[in-house]
Amino acid sequence: MLNENIKAIRKSKGLSQEELAVKLNVVRQTISKWENGLSVPDSDMLISISEALETPVSVLLGEPVAEPEADDLKAVCEKLEIINLQLAQRKAARRKILHWLFISLCAVLVIIYGALIVLDSPYQSWDYSAPETAVAGAAFHAFEWLFVRAAPVILIGAAAGAFLTRKKA
């Protein structure tokens, strides 16, 4: 039973007899003797084997280790495929939302530019003797000044973002 468990767990971990022997500082023939039931490791070596195989000693001494069946692996593969599809769908949805946000930002910037051109800075003809009018005029002028300088950079960035997030054929 111990010999079968050592062999099954070693194989499930993807280790060769030689690799396990290196981890335990023994020769490969020692591993072979344990697995064939020709000898038994002592208690200290049993602890070392459990650490090397990352398996509790009780499992090594317990019942035979069941190797994963093909059906179990198939089920895991199917679940992973479903998860991958869901992740791909989420990524595509995020990309689509981001793409339309960039396009919307471009449209909003162009509309505001158009509005500023059509209005032709009406606040410049206001009577600034009233404090409220002076504050509102200064605020409009500051917005226009900042917008005219920042909008081209934002527009180029948004256009580049829309281009980079487009759906590729």
Domain 2-61 belongs to what topology? 434 Repressor (Amino-terminal Domain) (1.10.260)
Per-domain residue ranges for the chain? 2-61, 70-164
Whether pTM > 0.85 for this model: the answer is: no
Q: 169 in helix, strand or coil?
A: coil
**Angle, in degrees to the nearest 10, between helices 17-24 and 28-35:** 110
Task: Tell the burial category of 131 from Cβ atoms under 10 Å away from its Cβ (0-12, 13-18, 19+).
Answer: exposed
pLDDT value at position 70?
Answer: 62
Task: Express each pLDDT in 53-77 by its tens digit.
Answer: 888 888 888 765 555 566 777 888 8
- Taking residues 138-152, report their average pLDDT: 93
pLDDT value at position 160?
Answer: 96
- Taking residues 143-160, report their average pLDDT: 94
